[in-house]
Amino acid sequence: MKSIEITSKLPYSAPFLFVDEITSVSENTIEGNYLFNKSQDFYRGHFKDNPVTPGVILAECMAQIGVVSLGIYLLSKQTEASGTPRIAMTSSNVEFIKPVYPGEKVFVKSEKKYFRFNKLKCVVIMTDTEENIICRGEISGMILKAES
């Protein structure tokens, strides 16, 4: 499965899609990136005169690339899956280390801890263009095949 096929199966669209590109994927890892555009609406109120990307949005970006995209890839290896899979985040434990400002590009790397009974758990790290760690943690989700 190619990276464009993975992103086309993501169950998100703008303004809640936080994946620009999947740059590599395998049975155990995935990497991708996203540019936080200065015009994104949440910057208007978070925070006045000093906009910063909300932590929940950073965690969502990590989940979309590091868990959901990898889950779509793993499901495609099990069967000839068609349609958009059903997804639910089950847990996250993310440590936030540095802020992300409007206009910054982030890079997400995820390593599978396990994928069994349709539950995927990954160690996910987000870095900036200079490879400084922005946030890291473990994120889990249920990844189910699309209903026919």
E strand or H helix at 6: helix 3-8
Contacts of 146 by beta carbon, 8 Å cutoff, 6+ apart: 81, 82, 83, 84, 85, 86
Question: Would you call 146 a catalytic residue per the annotation?
Answer: no
Catalytic residue among 12, 21, 29, 46: 46
E strand or H helix at 3: helix 3-8
Query: Do 55 and 98 contact (CB within 8 A), yes or no?
Result: no
The DSSP call for residue 41 is: G
Active site residues: 46
